[in-house]
Amino acid sequence: MKKVLCTVILLGAVTLASCSGLSTHEDDEVAAIVNNHEITIGDLRFLYPDDSALDYLDSAIAVELIKQEVQEMNLDISPHLTGKTTSEEFEKLPPVNTKDEGGKQVRAYAIAQAEKLDMSPEEFQKQYGKKINEQNAYINTYLEEKLGGGNVNDLTWMEEFGEDYNRLVEKLVEKNKNDIDVFIN
């Protein structure tokens, strides 16, 4: 009986530890270093909910590698940045009374993130929109250079070329594996 109780307690402790996500870490704590560029807990916390942010660390590393590769190739990302009107719309917090389910989710996410980051929801959404726009521009610039085109936001394209994109990213990670240090799991 004691052995069963100890096992249950141990499993409970492991489960609680795995559910903590980022809550036990400080924003300035380094999660990974990619070619001398730090990805901090704060970087992850800004983009993702605490309970799942660590699940996206590999993606954050891949995006940083893509960004560095695009900069090294001296490619211009500006053609892939969304236009001023589209960008401003994405950076704007949906109204309180929105009937759109997607708008409701965006608003709820912005409010939750803003609270933990000590920002207004409007300021969070503006900064979040800019960050996502920039990341997508780097990714799409890289895809265009390496695959002759592509748009990670286009589901039809992702169905057709998603595997090529994934292989491309895997090769990039492999090429840089000695320059990637992960400090948190």
Q: Copy the structure tokens of residue 5.
A: 């109780």
pLDDT in tens, 131-159: 998 998 998 899 889 887 666 667 776 67
pLDDT in tens, 156-171: 766 777 788 889 999 9
Side chain identity at residue 40, one-letter code? T
pLDDT in tens, 1-53: 333 323 333 333 333 333 446 778 888 999 999 999 999 999 999 999 888 89
Residue among 85, 93, 89, 72 at smallest CA distance from 142: 72
Percent of all residues in the chain with a pLDDT value above 90, rounded to a whole number: 45
pLDDT of residue 185: 74
Side chain identity at residue 43, one-letter code? D
Q: Is the pTM of this model over 0.85?
A: no
Running DSSP on this structure, what letter comes out for residue 33? E
Overall residue count recorded for the chain in this entry = 185
CB 141 within 8 A of CB 77: yes
Sequence-ordered alpha helix ranges (H) in 20-154: 41-47, 57-72, 84-91, 101-117, 121-147
CA distance 118 to 120: 7
